Every structure is written in C-alpha cells, then in structure tokens.
Amino acid sequence: MTTAENTPVAPSGADADTAECCSAHAATGEHGYTKDKDAHLKRLRRIEGQVRGLQRMVDEDVYCIDILTQVSASTKALQSFALQLLEEHLRHCVAHAAIDGGSEMDAKVEEATAAIARLLRT
C-alpha cells in the first residue's frame, strides 16, 4: 500500500515493525525472509547503488538510451528481489497457514494473490 506520493505505508491496523504475518511468525518470531536477511540487505544495497548511479547519469547528462538501459537493469533487479521475497512468503507464511487451515489459510492465499497481481502490474 502506498500514499498519493507513492510512499509505502503499513497496512491499516498493522505496525510494520511488529505485526505478525502468520502463525509461524507468532511461534518463531521470524518472518519467512529472516534466515536470508543479510543476503537480502546486500542485494537491496546493490540495487540502491544502481539507482544512485541513475541519478549520477542524469546529473552528468548521459545519453537517454544509456540511462534507460540502466533503468531496465535496476527494474529487473528489484523484480527479481520481489519474486524471491514472494517465494519465501509462500514457503513460510502461506505454507504454515495451509497446515493450520481455517480462515488464516484463506487470508494468506488472498494476500499472496493480491501481491502477485501487484507484481504483474509493474
């Protein structure tokens, strides 16, 4: 979810830092991505560097097509990260919800479906 300025915000009623994503999180205190957190942060820092490089390219009046090539690379890197995070969510949160069954399972499937739809729109 984002604001009008496209700033990410936590889902209503949830504190992004403390919200439990699923019964597995409640039991372990870990999100699905926790075991690979350092690798994810390293990857995000690399993507951040790519975006900063785009800023430099614009500042230095680099040729438009060269900038667009780098935009494409940055976009693909971010999409790849998103797919990895989605896979971890499916394997962790959705899988645990499926084991537990009930309304949490339905909610996690709907949540994952909505996330996939958002990724496909980008």
- Within-domain flag for 89: yes
Could you list the mean pLDDT of each consecutive 10-residue stretch along the chain, which spans 122 residues?
47 46 59 78 96 98 98 96 91 86 88 91 80
pLDDT of residue 21: 63
CA distance 17 to 6: 20
Cβ pair 109, 22 in contact under 8 A? no
- Within-domain flag for 3: no
pLDDT of residue 12: 42
pLDDT per residue as tens digits for the range 96-107: 888 888 888 888
Q: What is the CATH number of the domain that holds 51?
A: 1.20.58.1000
Structure tokens at 93: 């949160």
Residue 111's domain comprises 36-121
**Closest by alpha carbon to 81, among 117, 114, 48?**
48
- Within-domain flag for 22: no
- Within-domain flag for 19: no
pLDDT per residue as tens digits for the range 32-54: 676 788 999 999 999 999 999 99
Which distant-in-sequence residues (6+ apart) come within 8 Å of 105 by Cβ?
94, 97, 98
Using CB atoms within 10 A of its CB, is residue 9 exposed (0-12), middle (13-18) or buried (19+)?
A: exposed
Residue 63 three-state SS: coil
In the chain, the number of structural domains is 1
pTM of the prediction? 0.69
